[in-house]
Structure 1
């Protein structure tokens, strides 16, 4: 006569991302919750609880040890779902791992069931929440204004460029975060404006609308097969959108002088406007001519000059230590920046 082994039950650790709206659980998660013998949660304020109760699922507020949970499942053969807190329950999971790894225990089936996954970009929500708290609780951050922070935006942008030129991936990731912080910080300050407040959501909505409008070849009926066609379409769409009267409109005069000169030359060339360059022979005219030539050749003069300057700096340092052996090697000039589609 064959005797069957009693069922040992099942323990399901159900996790859900706090970055996804409560109640938006996967179908396997809802199915498991409905079929479970017991549903336990140690946190009486867990954000999922109102939605589970609304769905008719009884949830016990309890925090059993691993030993208690295993014994309950083995005795009854039931499925017990443990709704994990936001940070998880390290003591419970470690205890279950020790019991399962001992080889001496009659264990229920163990399952980790993600009920909701983070969506791409969801960590941005964390940044917004952290910035909210810093603005409210940090004495320095609480008093800052747009004007006071403007210089940091410029500094962080230059540090980002340096990280790109250095090819340092870790530094690039960090500097991108620093630039992103400036956007979120300014948006948080803007919420407090008494007359025209706006939030980071408004900032995101504005750039999304702009990108969709300026990419009709992606989101609309226009066609553009080459980068040149995309650029021409972009400039036409942007001009119509801004109602600009001159090709120089929208070129910020406060940008670095070489970039300004190259941008103006590129705008004139793209519009087919033949304007002779100044011929005074001064240093400024010479630099303007070089910047215009760089733009025509698809080279960003700022990047090219920075590359040469960095090589020159290395040669100076080598000479200071007695290691100089001739002219510095200049990296190949970068392609032109700032003359193609951007958010501006």
Structure 2
């Protein structure tokens, strides 16, 4: 009087509570994997006759099978394999594969042609989060998943360096596993420790040549500016030397695109920072503090009211003095020749990115 429902994705795995029930008379529905038949030994095909034969165990992967459904309606004990989360993703992968092979539109798409749709789906997902509607969010996450499946399936067709959705999933699990060892091992559950571990392992993996490496240039200009400023601040860069216009957005009717203006300005800052990094490398200057950045910029930083330049200060340019409190910093810039620009004149400004 038992029905055993197997996981259709793992049809050769019998739940432990069901093991003792397969020792007696067993009938199987036609959907059961043939491999399992050899392991079960003597079995019969389930027919309508077995509906009333309550001393046999029915094994199936299909709850809707007529024999299974009838036996359940009669009150049989049901032992069902627990299904792992994520199984529905396999159906999604199979559907995407079919569309890529047979769909006239899907078969023509490229990573580049799908860029606009990917961006749209991200914004629509953000809108769904803002609404607080779970149904709306579920739908938009499905659309976003479509883009991931689509790009992964396109990549599988690459003749030189193919990868598929399994490679994408492995990239995720491997990266997160490397960066959260303490959490996964149970060594700790502290937020600050987790963040520190993540950042330390990320830095070790990336071995970045520039403080700006890894920043997506194609993100919206304001998000790009914020990310760049955050990264520079964390690296000790004197962000107060950056063009203040980058910190303010002014919208004027009939003016150029604010997005384009901001993007041009922040890209200029990024170019200047990379020039400074190149110059620092050639001069052996370590850019791990504000002092290091100022050194490569050729900037001398002194306290307000202090003499600038020493005995020969008469030949030193007047400092740029902040109008704030006495504790404010005064910066005097002796323009230096840019090492990466052989044609620069002695009076050319330092590449501060302003």
SS in 1 for 2:79: strand
SS in 1 for 2:57: strand
Label 1:22 to 1:223 Cα distance change in 2 as closer, same or farther (>3 A).
closer
- Do the aligned partners of 1:128 and 1:184 also contact (CA within 8 Å) in 2? yes
Instruction: From 164, 175, 183, give the equivalent of 2:140.
Output: 175
TM-score by length of 1: 0.64
- Hey, what does 2:344 align to over in structure 1? none
Map of 1:303-318 to 2, 5 A cutoff? none
Label 1:85 to 1:63 Cα distance change in 2 as closer, same or farther (>3 A).
farther
- Do the aligned partners of 1:23 and 1:52 also contact (CA within 8 Å) in 2? no
Length, aligned pairs only:
250
Distance apart, 1:259 and its partner CA? 0.8
- Hey, what does 2:298 align to over in structure 1? none
Label 1:279 to 1:264 Cα distance change in 2 as closer, same or farther (>3 A).
closer
Q: Which ranges in structure 1 are unaligned for 5 or more consecutive residues?
A: 1-9, 74-78, 101-108, 289-344
- Do the aligned partners of 2:22 and 2:40 also contact (CA within 8 Å) in 1? no
Distance apart, 1:29 and its partner CA? 2.1
Superposition RMSD on alpha carbons, in Å?
Answer: 2.8
SS in 2 for 1:72: coil
- Hey, what does 1:240 align to over in structure 2? 204
CA–CA separation in structure 1 for the residues paired with 2:6 and 2:188: 43
CA–CA separation in structure 2 for the residues paired with 1:258 and 1:133: 40
Q: Which ranges in structure 2 are unaligned for 5 or more consecutive residues?
A: 251-354
- What CA deviation, in whole Å up to 9, does each residue of 1:192-240 have, x standing for no partner? 211111111111111211112222433579978444x544443332222
Instruction: From 50, 53, 58, give the equivalent of 2:42.
Output: 58
CA–CA separation in structure 2 for the residues paired with 1:196 and 1:14: 44
Label 1:15 to 1:244 Cα distance change in 2 as closer, same or farther (>3 A).
same
CA–CA separation in structure 1 for the residues paired with 2:172 and 2:242: 38
SS in 2 for 1:187: helix
**Larger RCO, structure (CA 8 Å, separation 6 or more):** 1
Map of 1:214-293 to 2, 5 A cutoff? 214-219=179-184, 225-227=190-192, 230-279=194-243, 282=245, 284-287=246-249
- Do the aligned partners of 2:15 and 2:79 also contact (CA within 8 Å) in 1? no
- Do the aligned partners of 1:33 and 1:57 also contact (CA within 8 Å) in 2? no
- What CA deviation, in whole Å up to 9, does each residue of 1:16-74 have, x standing for no partner? 1112x231111222321122x2x22341xx34332232x2522222421xxx335434x
* Larger Rg belongs to: 2
- Hey, what does 2:162 align to over in structure 1? 197
TM-score by length of 2: 0.63
Label 1:215 to 1:167 Cα distance change in 2 as closer, same or farther (>3 A).
same
